[in-house]
Structure 1
Amino acid sequence: MNKAPIVWVNLLIFLITGLIALIAIPLDIYFNGLNTVQIIATILCLGYCGMSITAGYHRLWSHKTYQAHAFVRFVYAIGGAFALQNSILHWCSDHRNHHRFVDNNDKDPYSAKRGFWHSHIGWMIREYQGKEYKNYNNTKDLQKDKIVMWQHKYYLPLAIATNFGIPILLGWLNGNILGMLLWAGVLRLVLSHHFTFFINSLAHIWGSQPYSKQHTAKDNAFLALLTYGEGYHNFHHTFEYDYRNGIRWWHFDPTKWFIKAASYVGLTSKLRITPEERIEKALAENHFETLKQRLLHLPHNHPLVKKLEHEYEALQQKMNDFYSARKRLLEIKRKKLAKDYKKTELYTQVQELKLKFEEHKNKFFDLTIPQAA
């Protein structure tokens, strides 16, 4: 089979910026030393690009996990052009196909099953998708957004203006235009590219799968540090319409924090979250399936098999009892049917059911099932 044609623009951008970062940055440090202002400017520009992709391109436009004020969308659109990862419309079209056909080598644009190189950068260097690459049939909702279409129409001049204009302006203010072009221009762009690309590659290879093994996406706390919270990728692929990726308070997810903080001042709204019950069920079911795989070599009536099934069924029952009672309690609280809902009999019942559920959940997740010999 003939290989797909090379996309020379992409290849040259990756090669030239990569080589400049590898060669010119060390030389600049050697001859001129480290410049604190340049380092700070690079970090700030890197954060602006990254958050425009994660909070804007990804969680807002690709997945519609929340709504944002026009001002915020405009800021994201400029930052997305600065990140040089194609227009909102184009990026979201690819990403929606990735989720719809995840791990399908023919339809997932950056399927991890085609290897690290392809999912990281190779899919952008060759024109694998042909005409399908630009039909945008899955982004008809975005085509109604004037900011999205404005950025798509003027993407090239916006990309040039931001990638040269912002570093030049910062360099002029700092008195070193060339140094700022190297740092806040080239180095920032290379790091921004590869940190984002890690989500398509490493986050489908390296990490844990607590919520689902139906796809290759992994949770990886280290990658979350580089990608503004996107590293909790197993959760994201399992619950893609949640505005959060890291759902625990200790999870590093500045994208989530920004979206939530912006909601307090009316800049974001209608933040979508996955019901806690669905998350708990996914965790339990995934763990059950993992343990069950270890027992496939045993007959169905084996004591270990029966014990696992019994514990799982008991956990499901306790889970359903707790969440059903809690739902009734929340309804009382919402409708203000009691002067103090905490003094109701149902409140006490919910606390008891919660304790039983947590105890059995810990017991279930502590089950030891030996690997087959």
Structure 2
Amino acid sequence: MRPSVKPPIIWLNVLLFLTTFMAAIVAVPWYGIVNGYQTAHWVLLLIAFSFCNLSITAGYHRLWSHKTYQAHPALRAIFAIGGAFALQNSALHWSSDHRVHHKHVDKNDIDPYSAKRGLWFSHIGWMLRHYNKETYDDYANCRDLHKDPIVMWQHKYYLLLALLTNLGIPLALGLIYGDVLGMLLIVGVLRLVLSHHTTFFINSLAHVWGSQPYTDKNTARDNGILAIFTFGEGYHNFHHIFENDYRNGIYWWQYDPTKWFIKSSHWLGLADKLRTTPKIKIEQAKAKQALKLALDKLEDRPDMAHLKQALNDEFDLLMRKLKDFYELKRQLLEQKHHGLVEKYEHSLLLIRYRQLKDECKAQQKNWNAMLTHC
């Protein structure tokens, strides 16, 4: 149980969040009215904002917290600098918090930013007091990151890097474009506030607003609108059940620029060993969740016992067909890759593969039709 007396306030964080937010909503528009902003201000804001957020999503989150892929040292160094520019603590500290969050999600006494403690707490309140001070002695849950010299370099010099980037970059741009104060406000203050709160949305809004197509064992939600503001992190329900996948938006039409950035880095030779979730596991998770929701709706309907049984039977049949289909697909790809199958045998396998694919589609159609009656 947490003590009734609240932990001490972290005054540095309070002052940082308060002063930057007030400057963003007062000083930034005031300067714009008096002096105006040029196209360069907004373009550089977008570039700096993207640099910060991708350093968090592709670096802090999917690379260091979850090890969903491996990155070239040059890319890791860029993420380390961008993470300091985003001013969200070191990669080691951030990853430690995030791993605890995933391991103990929604447990109020353990999860650093449990959504069950309220929207304000999960969004920013957890950073305003020393709620988790005892967990930062040695970052024991990040022993693997201790072996990364770039992570440890950034952790050691984080304060210096944060000052150099948050003051140095806007100042340098201001000198280049002849508007130091304007760049400090736009690329410095406004960029920082936007970067902070869009990232914080994942801890708060992404746990209360959206759908749960894969699991309802935690509060995480999928939300396409949030994905737009968070560089693809809005597909949070998928992420919490398949955290080792380098993607959050798994379908081509889902907005996930972090996924596209990682994939592009792979094509350029800057990233490898990209981890993905087998499609059968995704399909199984979706079907199990759909079955659960359907049975929950029928829980208090004794007259629907026949429909409950039919749902279970259809679900079992779907699972068997999916398993057969993906097993055959695996064998087909493996044999084709190693050249272990004759042309005639390959043709027979292709015929069976297409039959199973059609059967799966038909069974999925039957399954969806049954769900609409619940």
Q: TM-score, normalised by structure 2?
A: 0.96
User: What CA deviation, in whole Å up to 9, does each residue of 1:155-198 have, x standing for no partner?
Assistant: 00100000000000111111100000000000000000000000
User: What CA deviation, in whole Å up to 9, does each residue of 1:252-307 have, x standing for no partner?
Assistant: 11111111111112110000000011111111111111111112123498211111
Q: Does the alignment pair 1:283 with 2:286? A: yes
Q: How far, CA to CA, are the matches of 2:219 and 2:260 in structure 1?
A: 26
Contact 1:93–1:139 under 8 Å retained in 2:
yes
Q: How far, CA to CA, are the matches of 1:48 and 1:238 in structure 2?
A: 27
Look up the equivalent residue of 1:229 and give its one-letter code. Answer: G
1:134 CA displacement: 4.0
Q: How far, CA to CA, are the matches of 1:209 and 1:368 in structure 2?
A: 16
User: Which deviates more from structure 2 when the two are superposed, residues 167-176 or residues 289-298?
Assistant: 289-298
Q: Does the alignment pair 1:92 with 2:69? A: no
Q: Does the alignment pair 1:332 with 2:335? A: yes
1:322 CA displacement: 1.1
Show the counterpart of 1:137. 140
Q: Does the alignment pair 1:262 with 2:258? A: no
Q: Among 89, 110, 113, which residue is 1:110 paired with?
A: 113
3-state SS of paired residue (1:17): helix
1:35 CA displacement: 1.5
Kindly report the root-mean-square deviation, in angstroms, between the aligned alpha carbons of the 2 structures: 1.5
Show the counterpart of 1:235. 238
Q: How far, CA to CA, are the matches of 1:263 and 1:38 in structure 2?
A: 31
Once the two structures are superposed, the pairs formed by residues 223-372 of structure 1 within 5 Å of their partners are: 223-299=226-302, 302-338=305-341, 340=343, 343-368=346-371
1:329 CA displacement: 1.2
Q: Among 15, 27, 35, which residue is 1:24 paired with?
A: 27
In 2 relative to 1, CA 75–341 (structure 1 residues): closer, same or farther, beyond 3 Å? farther
Gaps of at least 5 residues in structure 1 are none
Show the counterpart of 1:119. 122
Look up the equivalent residue of 1:172 and give its one-letter code. Answer: L
Q: TM-score, normalised by structure 1?
A: 0.96
Q: Does the alignment pair 1:161 with 2:160? A: no
Q: Does the alignment pair 1:197 with 2:200? A: yes
In 2 relative to 1, CA 178–242 (structure 1 residues): closer, same or farther, beyond 3 Å? same
Look up the equivalent residue of 2:148 and give its one-letter code. Answer: D
1:133 CA displacement: 3.7
Show the counterpart of 1:171. 174
3-state SS of paired residue (1:141): helix
Gaps of at least 5 residues in structure 2 are none
Contact 1:59–1:66 under 8 Å retained in 2:
yes
Q: How far, CA to CA, are the matches of 1:63 and 1:210 in structure 2?
A: 22
User: What CA deviation, in whole Å up to 9, does each residue of 1:292-337 have, x standing for no partner?
Assistant: 1112123498211111111111211211221122122122112112
User: Which deviates more from structure 2 when the two are superposed, residues 301-310 or residues 149-158?
Assistant: 301-310
Percent pairwise identity: 53
Contact 1:112–1:118 under 8 Å retained in 2:
yes
In 2 relative to 1, CA 366–301 (structure 1 residues): closer, same or farther, beyond 3 Å? closer
Contact 2:100–2:110 under 8 Å retained in 1:
yes
